[in-house]
Amino acid sequence: MREWLTVITEQAVLWIDAVALVVIVGGTIQAIFGMLRVTFTSATTHQRREVWMHYARWLIAGLTFQLAADIIETSITTDWEAIARVAAIAVIRTFLNYFLEKDFADLREREGRKS
């Protein structure tokens, strides 16, 4: 039974990481085209900021999926070194997510004050 759960968990982690990869790559491609568009046109600061905010949303989504995969991975890990490595990665991703969210909230607040 344990082997069966391990296989399912490993597959779930693989699929969730794949979703995270698709989300981050998709968001990055969209951001590249958005940056090219605002760079070669007479875009306003607001339009440039919108590209960044939209990209931040994609990154937050991708990091959230990756964190979910890390949490699931810890359920099948028995080696303390591996658990520590996964925990360190989870902490780093959580901090990245926190600061992206904070940046996003600050930009939203500034936009609200300007309106």
Contact status, residue 65 vs residue 12, Cβ threshold 8 Å? no
In whole angstroms, what is the distance from residue 78 CA to residue 55 CA?
A: 36
- What would the pLDDT profile of 20-37 be if each residue is shown by its tens digit? 999 999 999 999 999 999
Q: Where are the domains of the chain?
A: 2-114
Dump the DSSP string for the chain.
Answer: -HHHHHHHHHHHHHHHHHHHHHHHHHHHHHHHHHHHHHHTTT--HHHHHHHHHHHHHHHHHHHHHHHHHHHHHHTT---HHHHHHHHHHHHHHHHHHHHHHHHHHHHHHHHHHH-
Say how far apart CA 71 and CA 44 lie, in whole Å.
Answer: 41
pLDDT tens by residue, 73-109: 888 877 888 778 778 877 887 888 788 888 778 877 8
Greater confidence (55 vs 89) lies with 55
Averaged pLDDT of the chain: 86
Q: What is the pLDDT of residue 115?
A: 62
Q: How far is CA 72 from CA 65, 82, 84, in A?
A: 11, 13, 14
Q: How far is residue 5 CA from its own chain's centroid?
A: 27
